[in-house]
A and B are shown apart, each in its own frame.
Chain A
Amino acid sequence: MLDKNGIAQRIAKEVKDGFYVNLGIGIPTLVANFVRDDIAVEFQSENGILGMGPFPFEGEEDADLINAGKQTITALPGASFFDSATSFGMIRGKHVDLTILGAMEVAENGDIANWKIPGKMVKGMGGAMDLVASAENIIVAMMHTNKAGDSKLLKKCSLPLTGVGCVTKIVTNLAVIEVTQNGFKLLERAPGVSVEEIEKATEGKLIIEGEIPEMVL
Chain B
Amino acid sequence: MINKTVNTIQEALKGVEDGMTFMLGGFGLCGIPENAIKALVQKNIRNITCISNNAGVDDFGLGLLLQKKQIKKMISSYVGENAEFERQMLSEELEVELTPQGTLAAKCQAAQQGFPAIYTPAGYGTEVAMGKETREFDGKMYVLEEAYKADFAFIKAWKGDEAGNLIFKGTARNFNPCMCGAAKITVVEVEELVPAGALDPNQIHVPGIFVQRIFQGKSYEKRIEQRTVKS
Contact = CB atoms under 8 A, between A and B. Distances in A.
Contacts of B106: 85, 88
Contact of B226 (A64, A69, A121, A134): A69
Interface in B180-231: 205, 222-231
Contact of B98 (A63, A68, A85, A124): A124
Interface residues of A, number: 52
A9 B89 CA distance: 39
Contact of A84 (B105, B120, B128): B105
A106 B133 CA distance: 26
A98 B177 CA distance: 27
B105 A88 contact: yes
A47 B224 contact: no
Contacts of A62: 170
Chain B: interface size category: 35 or more
A64 B101 contact: no
Nearest to B140: A133
Contacts of A55: 228-230
Contacts of A54: 230
Contacts of B101: 46, 84, 88, 125-127, 130
A129 B173 contact: no
Contacts of B205: 83
With a 10 A CB-CB cut-off, give which of B90, B98, B122 has the most chain A CB atoms: B122
Interface stretch (B11-19, B28-36, B41-49, B63-71): B28-36
Interface in A127-147: 127-130, 133-134
B5 interface: no
Nearest to A46: B101
Interface string B124-161: 11111000000000000000000000000000001000
A136 to B, nearest CB: 11
Contact of A63 (B109, B125, B223): B223
A130 B107 CA distance: 13
Interface stretch (A156-164, A175-183, A185-193, A195-203): A156-164
A91 B100 CA distance: 13
Nearest to B90: A121
A122 B76 CA distance: 12
Interface string A43-85: 0011111000011111011111111111111010000011111
A49 B228 contact: no
Contacts of A66: 27-28, 30, 171, 224-226
A205 interface: no
B81 to A, nearest CB: 8
A81 B126 CA distance: 31
Contact of B102 (A48, A49, A92): A92
Contacts of A111: 125
Contact of A65 (B81, B89, B124, B171): B171
B21 interface: no
A126 B109 CA distance: 18
A49 B31 CA distance: 14
A134 B122 contact: yes
Given A70-B28, A88-B105, A83 B178 contact: yes
Given A92-B121, A130-B103, A163-B124, 13 more contacts: A47-B28, A62-B170, A63-B172, A63-B223, A64-B158, A65-B170, A66-B171, A85-B109, A111-B125, A121-B90, A125-B100, A130-B122, A160-B127
Interface of B: 27-31, 53, 76-81, 86, 89-90, 98, 100-106, 108-109, 120-128, 158, 168-178, 205, 222-231
